[in-house]
Amino acid sequence: MESTMTEVEYDEGEEQLSFSDIEELTAQGIGMTDIIRLKQAGICTVQGVQMSTKRFLLKIKGFSEAKVDKLKEAASKLCPANFATAMEISQSRKRVWSISTGSKAFDAMLGGGVQSMSITEVFGEFRCGKTQMSHTLCVTAQLPREMGGAEGKVAFIDTEGTFRPDRIRAIAERFGVDADQAMENIIVSRAYNSEQQMDYITKLATIFAEDGRYRLLIVDSIMALFRVDFSGRGELSERQQKLNIMLARLNHISEEFNVAVFVTNQVQADPGAALMFASNDRKPVGGHVMAHASATRILLRKGRGEERVAKLNDSPDMPEAECSYVITSGGIADAS
C-alpha cells in the first residue's frame, strides 16, 4: 500500500465548528483568571463547562457558588441546551468518522473501523493483539480518509510500559508513510499510577483544545493501574467510583473534540462460568462501570495457529459478529 503522506494534513475550518473555545466566555463577563483556572482543571471549551457538574466546578480553587452559577449561565447563553430532532442528530452524526484497524474484515465487523465520539474497548488475555492493535491505529489514524485514516495526530497513554517506537516504524513502512514523521505525530505519556493516569487525561483536554489535529486517544491499558492501586473488596467501591469519573471524562473528551477513544483492557478468571461449562471463562476487568462506558466492546482471543479471533460483544451500530485476523510485522492484518 503506497502513500505519499509526509505530514498530517488538516482542514482548519472543518473541526473548528465542533467546539467553542472557553475564552469566548470573557464576552459574558468571566475573567481571564477564572478562564486560566478552568484550563488547569482540564476544562478548555464552553461545552466542557456544560458537561461539568456544579459540584465539580466548586472543587476548583477560587470558585464560589455565585461564581459557578454565573459561569453556568454564561455557558448556556453561548451554547444553549435544547432538544433536537432525530433528523438534526442524524446530520450532526455525519461528523463521526472511522479509523481502520489494519484488517478489512475487522473494519467491516465494526462498520468501518474505530469510531470517533465514543469509547471502543478491546479486552482479552495476553498475546491476543491488544497492544499491537494500539500501535497499528497510531499509524492508520494518520492516513488519508480514503485509506481508512483520519489525517490526524495521536495521543497514547501507556500504563504498562509496552509502547515501542520500533513497532511504529515497521507499521509505517507497511503503509508507505514516513516513519519519522509518523512518530512526530504521536505523543506518549507513561503513567505509573491511576492518579497520574487521570492527570494525563486532564492535560490532554488542554492539548486537544490548543491543537485541533488530534484524532485518536489510546489508553493501553485502562485498568492495569487500578488493579494495582486498589486491592480487595474493601477498596472496590472507591476503585469503581474513580474509574467511573475517568471514563466519564474520556467520553466527554471524545464528544467535545470529536476524537476516537480506544482503550485496551485486561481479563480475569470467572469461576462461575467454569462451573456452568461456559465456553469463555474470562471476563473483562472493571465490571458494569466499564461495560456501560464503552460504546463498543470487542473480545480478542487466540485462534488456530497464528490466527486471532475478534468477537464484537456490544455495539450501538452493528450486530454481534466474529472475524479472524493475524499479527504481522506491519501490525494487524487480514488472516488470508
Mean pLDDT confidence for 113-137 = 94
Q: In the prediction, which pLDDT does 276 show?
A: 52
- C-alpha cell read off for 108: 467491516
Mean pLDDT confidence for 229-236 = 90
- Alpha-carbon distance of 202 to 199, in angstroms, equals 5
pLDDT bracket for residue 336 (50, 70, 90) = confident
Mean pLDDT confidence for 78-102 = 90
Q: In the prediction, which pLDDT does 272 show?
A: 57
Q: In the prediction, which pLDDT does 12 show?
A: 41
CATH 1.10.150.20 applies to domain 96-334: no
* Per-residue pLDDT tens over the stretch 262-306: 999 998 876 555 555 555 567 899 999 999 999 999 999 998 888
CATH 1.10.150.20 applies to domain 20-78: yes
Mean pLDDT confidence for 45-62 = 92
Closest CA relative to residue 228, chosen from 153, 308, 285, 296: 285
Contacts of 181 (CB under 8 A, 6+ apart): 5, 6, 7
Q: In the prediction, which pLDDT does 280 show?
A: 59
Indicate the domain borders of the chain.
Answer: 20-78, 96-334
pTM of the shown model: 0.88
| CA distances for 239 relative to 8, 124, 149, 253, angstroms | 38, 21, 35, 21
Q: How far is CA 179 from the centre of its chain?
A: 23
* Per-residue pLDDT tens over the stretch 137-164: 999 999 999 999 999 999 999 999 999 9
Instruction: Say which residue the cell 507513561 belongs to.
Output: 190
How confident is the prediction for the chain on average, in pLDDT? 89
326: β partners: 307, 333
Q: In the prediction, which pLDDT does 279 show?
A: 54
